[in-house]
Structures are given as C-alpha cells and as structure tokens.
Amino acid sequence: MKKKVEKSRDEWKESLSPEEFHILREKGTEPAFTGKYMDNKKKGLYLCAGCQNKLFSSDTKFDSGSGWPSFWESISDENIEMKEDNSLGMQRIEVLCARCGGHLGHVFDDGPNPTGKRFCINSAAMLFKGEKKESEKEK
C-alpha cells in the first residue's frame, strides 16, 4: 500500500463532493438501492474515492439484495481496516480505507463462499476503474 493520506477537514471538503465527504469523513451512508454502482456489472476495480486506494474487484462483487454494492472479499487485507462499530444501537464491523481512514461501509458474516463475508460498501465512497478491452490496449 502507498503512503498514508492525511488532510485537514477543510482539505477533504475541497477534494470531495458533499456526498463523498459525508460518507467518507462523517461516517454517513447513502439510501439503500440508490448508489451508482449498485447494479454495475462491468469488469474492473473499485477504488477509494478519497485516495484511489484499490479496495475491491468486480470478480468478488455479488447481488446481496441489501441495497448496497456487496463484495465477498477485498483486494487485500492491507488496503482496508475493520473496526467494531456499536453506533445506532447495533453491533457491526465498520470497513475503512487503510490509506486515508475513510468510512466505506460495513462487513457482515452472511456472505457467500468462499469467505462467508458480505462487505456492504457505499457507492459514493468508491470510484470505478473499468478494465480496458483488448482493442483499447493496443492503441
């Protein structure tokens, strides 16, 4: 993983959209079934919207029916952090970007094999970088 990204609150506000700032820096969430990557079926990588850290691959994305893009595995355990979250009267595990500390979503133990994990991640916390087609690679 690359060097940690540290910015002041004002610097984050300047570099992120209001929705990205609310989710990544204030631990917000987008309404279920509204995120731009909810139904994305393209091949590629999902990066942190705050620092472009590689988070998830489309190869591990699945339809969980939860209302948020869901993945059964991260690209690397080194690229994310997981912390206990007892807010809102619930016991959950929060998923954070290990590079910038941005809030991504939560992980649950009711996902598919082979991991049994369900990473529910806010679309606004991510950027999608699609794979180039063979014809585009030659150019």
Using alpha carbons only, how large is the chain's radius of gyration in Å? 15
User: Is 100 a residue of the active site?
Assistant: no
Query: In whole angstroms, what is the distance from residue 90 CA to residue 86 CA?
Result: 5
Query: In whole angstroms, what is the distance from residue 32 CA to residue 29 CA?
Result: 9
**Residue 57: partners with Cβ closer than 8 Å, 6 or more residues away:** 44, 45, 46, 71, 75
Q: What is the number of alpha carbons within 13 Å of residue 9 lying toward its C-beta?
A: 2
Q: Among the options 51, 97, 100, 120, which is catalytic?
A: 120
Angle at 110 between CA 104 and CA 114, to 5 degrees: 95
- Known catalytic residues? 120
